[in-house]
Amino acid sequence: MMKRSLALVALATGCANDPVYVECPDAPTDPTCLRSIEAGQDDGTGMIVEEAKTRLLLPINPEKPEDAEQRATRTAELGVDVPYVKLGDIEVSVEWTITNLEDIEGIALVELDGATEFFEYDPDMIVLSTDDEAPPSPGLDGNIPIHIPPNGSISGLFREDQVREASIDLEQVTRGNVNPFAATLRVNKNDTQIQPFLPFDPMDPEAGPMIDPNAVPIPREAFAGMIRIDLVFTPNRHMRLDYNVRIRDIRGEMMNELLMAADPAELHPFAPMPYAVMAMD
């Protein structure tokens, strides 16, 4: 009888981790959440708009009191902060389409950044060297030149495994003080822990990384998953980027039923801190 009921419930609800698709609403409460962004055009003053940014905070339900209690207990046991949205609770991929609005072939780059519930990662806020010729800090993924035909469109995506890898890289940089180049250039998706390094010393940017002897390694169960997706779009012609975010709720009951149409008061109030590192002479 129980089995029959479960089968009926399963049939009635479909698979628990069927994907949902979210995109920025027509009238977003966050003005930086833009459904489509354009760059490469004249801004009206003779200057070219080099890049455009958008970010989308995932519509995640508030944490239940019993879950918060369990999490606090686990945080005390491990000695490190255990996030509400852990790596693997939700699987996220980002699908995008670039449209060239000019009749000349162009090149475009799409960069994936984002935030966990602890920190947001913006490469512009991470300056590791005062050398003008030093490469800028990398994005978490993407930034591969893509040729877009005249008036044509190209679609692509950041797969679930790429976003998962990006989440781990973000954690390494922000909670583990790992150099962003090291974090993003290595494949870390199977890492079982993050060994924190001593914080970057802005007065001594050339110093090599040193393991923090007093820091507790962050175990994988305490890795945070990304709760905000940031995209940076850099075309060399006037182009448009449209995107949406595909989410599979693996843990279940994480995503709000109304998704982006939900009242912000009914969503979890995430407030990630900007992660900033500024090298100085």
**What does the binding site for another protein look like in residue numbers (CB under 8 A)?**
11-15, 18-21, 23, 95-97, 153, 155, 157, 242-244, 246, 257-262
Which CB atom, from 11 or from 203, has the smaller least distance to another protein? Answer: 11
d(CA 94, CA 246): 6
76 Cβ contact list (under 8 Å, min separation 6): none
How near is the Cβ of 13 to another protein at its closest, in Å? 8
- Give the residue with the Cβ less far from another protein, 151 or 153: 153
The CB-of-154 to another protein minimum distance in angstroms stands at 10
Q: How many other C-beta atoms are found inside a 10 Å radius of the C-beta of residue 154?
A: 15
Cβ closer to another protein: 81 or 242? 242
Which lies closer to another protein via its Cβ, residue 218 or residue 260?
A: 260
Q: How far apart are CA 255 and CA 115, in angstroms?
A: 17
Cβ nearer to another protein, comparing 16 with 273: 16
- Rounded least distance, CB 79 to another protein, Å: 40
**Residue 101: Cβ-neighbour burial (10 angstroms; 0-12, 13-18, 19+):** middle
- DSSP 3-state assignment of 97? strand
Decide whether 194 or 241 has the Cβ nearer to another protein: 241
- Give the tokens for residue 129: 């060297």
Q: How many CB atoms lie within 10 A of CB 75?
A: 14
Rounded to a whole number of angstroms, the minimum distance from the CB of residue 243 to another protein is 6
**CB 247 → another protein: shortest distance, Å?**
10
* Least distance in angstroms from the C-beta of 266 to another protein: 12
Residue in this structure with the two tokens 């290595």, named with its chain if needed:
186
- Cα distances (angstroms) measured from residue 191 to each of 44, 92, 195, 199, 208: 48, 19, 10, 21, 22
